[in-house]
Amino acid sequence: MFTGAMTAMVTPFSNREVDEARLRNNVSFQIDHGISGLVPCGTTGESPTLSHDEHRRVVAQVVEAANGRVPVIAGAGSNSTAEALELTQHAKSVGAAATLQVNPYYNKPTQEGLYRHFATIADAVDLPMVLYNIPGRSVVELSPETIERLAAHPNIVATKEATGSMDVASQVIASTDLTVLSGDDSLTLPLMSIGARGVISVFANIAPKWVTAMTDAALAGDFVSAREQHLSMFPLCKAMFLETNPIPVKTAMKLLGADSGEMRLPMCEMSEANTSILRDALRDGKLL
């Protein structure tokens, strides 16, 4: 259902408030540069430090600004099933095309608990769901067997694969009809080579044309061009993770004049040494 290059959007701030004008500008920038979908209020969007009202407002603003030109997959995950359900209901009410549901973090549910969490939301709200398997953030990992159980639900249509394991991705692709999307920019092409259908990308915040060119080539079966694009992007993709996401991407956007660079604690400014490395990478990539 969702393929190609989709952007894990940053949430812009100004004087500690969400900068809605810049948020809407970012939506237009992404769509004008060929992106296939928008994903607000995920990890890159600093969802843990948004209030519930801010979270709902950001999703509504992105849906409104996109105006049906591309699908909006609203981040709606939580470690509380009731909270995730409420955010999912809101996403549906404002016209989001789907939700992104992260593994419940911190409380470390069992595989049965994970299954019941996602199935409860999928049962309650008739809206497509993208699972988000990222054990590096959530501590728990959805096993391929649990993903296979969840894939039987008609509202669960895709999974964002961020385990770093080609084996996990291969098993999911082999055993389900889910659309697999990369959750790691540097692994998008390897994952697409085994059947993934695109990426939810941090890097696309600054270079949507690059990411789109690579995913379009791979989807067309032109892996020679896709590989060339991947290798040209790779140094900057790695620079996007010199520190915890979204610190580098927001720093890059500030250097490019596309964001204030403001973050909310406990996220803080990038170190001077890493900022220098990032600046050099942007120059080498001819973005700065």
Q: Catalytic amino acids? A: 132, 160
CA 81 to chain centre: 20
Q: Which of 50, 130, 42, 126 is nearest to 92 (CA)?
A: 126
How many angstroms separate the CA atoms of 37 and 286, rounded? 25
Ramachandran category for residue 193: left, alpha or beta (phi over 0 → left; psi -120 to 50 → alpha): alpha
DSSP 155-193: TEEEEEE-S--HHHHHHHHHH--PEEEESSGGGHHHHHH
The rounded radius of gyration (Å) of the Cα atoms in the chain is 18
Please give the biggest Cα pair distance in the chain. Answer: 49
How many angstroms separate the CA atoms of 189 and 172, rounded? 17
How many angstroms separate the CA atoms of 265 and 271, rounded? 15
